Amino acid sequence: MEKRNNKYQLQLNELSLKDGSSAEKKLSFEFENHDDLFKIFELIKSKNIFEDENTANEFSLGLKLFTEVMLKNKQHPLFEDLRPAITEFMKKLKSQ
């Protein structure tokens, strides 16, 4: 039986660049995640870990994208040293 995941589309648009050059780049891609990301956004916001909503959303999205890549690539040597620390970090975050 195939594992079912939630599907998302991310659209990223440059709004302004620090050097004043024209902000024109765009990136759009689809991805899957085993978690409901919108529930995660709400959960992290409700924990009041960060002072503002944007920071909470950036943290949530970055963490979920990164950890999903780690899960999909469990055996990749790149994550070998990081895996135990991420496991402990996730336990600490969930206990808050």
User: pLDDT tier at 96 (50, 70, 90 boundaries)?
Assistant: confident
Q: Amino acid letter at 6? A: N
Model confidence pTM above 0.75: yes
64-92 mean pLDDT: 95
The backbone region for 48, taken as left when phi is positive above 0, alpha when psi lies in -120 to 50, beta otherwise, is left
Greater confidence (3 vs 42) lies with 42
pLDDT attached to residue 9: 98
- Residue 54: pLDDT above 70? yes
Tokens of 41: 């956004």
pLDDT at residue 3 greater than cutoff 80: no
- CA 28 to CA 11: how far, in whole Å? 4
